[in-house]
Amino acid sequence: MNIKNYITVDFPSVSANEAFARAAAAAFASQLDPTLEELGDIRTAVSEAVTNAIVHAYPSEIGRIRLRMRILNEETLDITVRDWGAGIADVQRAMQPMYTTGGDERSGMGFTIMQSFTDALHVRSRPGRGTSVTMRRHILRRNRG
């Protein structure tokens, strides 16, 4: 795997930083010359991952979230959103559509949305130790200078 570029950003789990993470992801991904649709998909997937960390990893405290993005082999965007919060006891169950631990106001569609807007999704979690969500999105190569 050939890493062409990367960023790592840590920020507190406050809701205002969801928009920051979305914008940072779009800015970093722009070097791959994505279409507006691809860029929107990336923003949406990152938004869902960061929102999950804010709402579920740190339900009663402010914690740390890490956004790491890498460009692999010149055309694959690798995105990891990591927290050190509550963790997920049953990842398979949590990934089922409509499952949520966030109460009636949550849709339970976060992982489903992430899967829909990326080419690959991998979730690792340990209760009490946090969760790592890694997504990959291939950006079609166009005329790049």
Catalytic residues: 48, 52, 106
Choose among 58, 56, 66: nearest CA to 21: 66
Q: Which helix (H) or strand (E) holds 132?
A: strand 130-138
Torsion angle in degrees (nearest 10) through CA of 130, 115, 45, 88? -20
Alpha-helical regions (H) of the chain: 16-29, 36-52, 91-94, 110-117
Q: Which residues lie below 8 Å from residue 37, measured CB to CB, with a gap of 6+? A: none
